[in-house]
Amino acid sequence: MPQAQSVYFWEADVTIECRNLAFSLEANDEGRGANKKRIFSASWVKDDKVYIDPSKRLGGWLKKQMPLLRSSYASQIQAVKVFPVNEQQYVPVCELKELVGGDIPIPDTNHEFLQKFANPKWQRIQVINTTGTGTRATTTYWLEYPNPIQFSVRIISFARNISPEIIKEALTRLGYATGIGDKYSQGYGRFKLISFESKQEKMNL
């Protein structure tokens, strides 16, 4: 008869406060020659309101940051999941008109969607080709929400060697340096930990 094995489980209700969240615009060129136009869209807009999925964003943040602290966390962090609170996956951030853009006009033909909000910030960058050889120039576009906003999520873990204290320490120390959301590598979306309430259980399976 198989013996029961002990599995250590913990969960934590977490609240963070973000500043300067960035929201990237998708851009696609349509038409040819003189009729070519750059069309902008944004999946994070609905009914002129801006939304974000904080559980997905923070879950991605943990998977990226934890292996930097210790290489063994790379596999263990897969057993740490982040879920929305009250099953509300997408959380409203602000009205579309509250987003802030840049002062330099974008070097493309405006689509009427852009008339709904500020002129986007933009930057030309070099990216690696999909073939893996060489680079190509592209332009990224984004808008910013400069005001602080709080998000609450629930973290659930079965990772034996990642305790609540380790995750709390990572959120506290690394949130000031690396943010969530779009353009995080440029300093957008950095956050501070507001609360971290955890409980642990031992389950016999």
Residue 17's pLDDT is what?
98
Residue 132's pLDDT is what?
66
The 3-class SS string of 68-112 reads HHCCCHHHHHHHEEEEEHHHCCCEEEEEHHHCECCCCCCCCCCCH
pTM (two decimals):
0.83
d(CA 71, CA 84): 27
Beta pairing class for 80-84 and 149-157: antiparallel
For 176-189, give the DSSP string: TTS-SSBTGGGTTT
Residue 205's pLDDT is what?
52
Reading across the β-sheet that carries 49-52, which strands appear in turn? 45-46, 49-52, 91-95
In this predicted model, what pLDDT tens digit does every residue of 132-161 receive, in sequence order? 677 777 788 899 999 999 999 999 998 888
> Terminal CA-to-CA distance of the chain, rounded, Å?
13
Q: Which residues of the chain have pLDDT under 70?
A: 1-7, 33-34, 107-115, 126-127, 130-132, 202-205
Contact in structure between 122 and 105 (CB atoms under 8 Å): no
